Amino acid sequence: MRDKRTKQRAITKAITVFIGGLLFAAYLEWQHSMTVATIGFVLFGALLSYLVYKTNRPN
C-alpha cells in the first residue's frame, strides 16, 4: 500500500514539473516567438520530470 502511494506521489510530482515546463515554454513562444528555446524547454522539462520520478519512486 505504501509503495503504491509513493509511486502515485512520484508520478504526480513528475507531471507537475512537466506541466510547469510546458507553461514556461508556452510563455516563451507567446512573448518572444522563440521556437528553438520552446523545444529546448519542453525537452528539459521532460528530463526533469524523469529525474523527479526516478528520485521519488519506491525502490
d(CA 3, CA 58): 6
Which residue carries 513562444 as its cell? Answer: 29
Residue 46's closest CA among 7, 16, 18?
18
d(CA 17, CA 9): 12
Query: For residue 21, what pLDDT is reported?
Result: 82
Q: Tell me the backbone φ, ψ of residue 58, rounded to 5 degrees.
A: -70, 155
The CA-based angle 52-53-56, given to 5 degrees, is 85
Query: For residue 53, what pLDDT is reported?
Result: 86
Q: Across all residues in the chain, what is the average pLDDT?
A: 83
pTM: 0.73
